[in-house]
Amino acid sequence: MSGDPIYTEMIIEYSRNPSNYGKLENPQVIRHDSNPLCGDSIDLYLNIDDKKITDVRFDGKGCAICMACSSVLTEMIKGKDLDYVKKFEKDELLSELGLEHLIKTSPVRIKCALLSLKALKYGIYSYFAEKMDDVESAGNLKDEAANLY
Amino acid sequence: MQVTSETFEDLRTDFPVLERKVRDGKDLVYFDNAATTQKPNQVIDAITNYYRNHNSNIHRAVHALAEESTEAFEMTRDKVAKFLNIQDRQEIVFVKGTTEAINLVAYAWGRENVNEGDIVVTTEYEHHSNIVPWQLLTQEKKAKLKYIDIDENGELILDQLDEYLETGKVKLVTFSHMSNVLGTITNTQQIISKCKNAGVKTLVDGAQSVPHMKVNLSTLDCDFFAFSAHKMLGPTGVGVLWAKKEILEKMQPFLGGGDMIREVHKYETTWNDLPYKFEAGTPNIADVIGFATAIEYLEKIGMENIRNHEVELTKYALEKMTKIKGITLYGTKDMERRGGVISFNFNDVHPHDVATIIDKEGVAIRSGHHCAQVLMEKLNVAATNRASFYIYNTKEEVDKLISSLEKVAKVFKL
Nearest CA in chain B to A34: B382
Q: What's the pLDDT at B338?
A: 96
Chain A 83-122, CB below 8 Å of chain B: which residues?
A: 106, 109, 112
* Cβ-defined contact of B367 to A38 (cutoff 8 Å): yes
Mean pLDDT computed over A27-47: 91
Instruction: Write down the pTM of the prediction.
Output: 0.92
Alpha carbon distances (Å) from A121 to A18, A39, A115, A117, A139: 21, 20, 10, 6, 11
Q: Residues of A with CB below 8 A from B349's CB?
A: 64
* Cβ-defined contact of B412 to A41 (cutoff 8 Å): no
DSSP state of B311: H
Q: B5: which strand partners? A: none
Q: How far apart are CA B152 and CA B56, in angstroms?
A: 53
Alpha carbon distances (Å) from A31 to A54, A58, A62, A118: 16, 9, 16, 10
Decide if A12 touches B, using CB distance below 8 A.
yes
Q: How far apart are CA B317 and CA A90, in angstroms?
A: 41
What are the pLDDT tens digits along chain B (414 aa)?
678 878 898 999 999 999 999 999 999 999 999 999 999 999 999 999 999 999 999 998 899 999 999 999 999 999 999 999 999 999 999 999 999 999 999 999 999 999 999 999 999 999 999 999 999 999 999 999 999 999 999 999 999 999 999 999 999 999 999 999 999 999 999 999 999 999 999 999 999 999 999 999 999 999 999 999 999 999 999 999 999 999 999 999 999 998 898 999 999 999 999 999 999 999 999 999 999 999 999 999 999 999 999 999 999 999 999 999 999 999 999 999 999 999 999 999 999 999 999 999 999 999 988 899 999 999 998 899 999 999 999 999 999 999 999 999 999 998
Q: Can you list the domains of chain B with their CATH numbers?
A: 5-30+303-411 (3.90.1150.10), 45-299 (3.40.640.10)
Q: How far apart are CA B50 and CA B206, in angstroms?
A: 28
Closest CA to B103 of B71, B130, B63: B130
Cα within 13 Å of Cα(A71), Cβ side: 21
Q: A42: which strand partners? A: A33, A60
Q: Name the pLDDT band for A2 (thresholds 50, 70, 90).
A: very low
Closest CA to B298 of B289, B306, B290: B306
Q: Which of B345, B346, B352, B379 to mutate to test the interface with A (most CBs of A within 10 A)?
A: B352
Q: How far apart are CA B400 and CA B405, in angstroms?
A: 9
Q: Is the peptide bond before B275 cis (omega within 30 degrees of 0)?
A: yes
* Cβ-defined contact of B352 to A7 (cutoff 8 Å): no
Q: How far is A64 from chain B (nearest CA, A)?
A: 7
Q: Is B322 within 8 Å of B367 (Cβ atoms)?
A: no
Q: What's the pLDDT at A1?
A: 44
| ipTM value | 0.84
- Strand residue runs (E) in chain A: 29-34, 41-49, 52-61
Q: What's the pLDDT at B405?
A: 97
